[in-house]
Amino acid sequence: MNRDEDQKPLSFLEMLQSVLAAALGVQSGKNRSRDFSRGKPAHFILLGVGFTSLFVLLLLGLVKLILHLAAS
């Protein structure tokens, strides 16, 4: 990597990958240091809250579907 790439902000896909890896607990040290040097905390917070909300809604929908099918 050259200096221009080190200063370039993270793309949306890079941030999303970091949030998903952190949620699963498999974030590498290299990516974590990249996130701290090039990422903005507000972006990671928003993506984290969005991912968590989506995950909870998905689980809620799955439980409701299972309960509906079990009652039939």
Which residue segment(s) compose the domain that 49 sits in? Answer: 3-71
> What torsion, rounded to 10 degrees, do the Cα atoms 2, 35, 33, 14 define?
-70
Whether pTM > 0.85 for this model: the answer is no
Q: What is the total count of domains within the chain?
A: 1
pLDDT of amino acid 5: 62
Exposed/middle/buried for 15, CB within 10 Å: 0-12, 13-18, 19+? buried
CA distances to 30, 34, 43, 64 from 55, rounded to whole Å, are: 26, 26, 18, 14
Per-residue confidence in pLDDT tens, the chain, 72 aa: 556 566 889 999 999 999 999 999 999 999 999 999 999 999 999 999 999 999 999 999 999 999 999 997
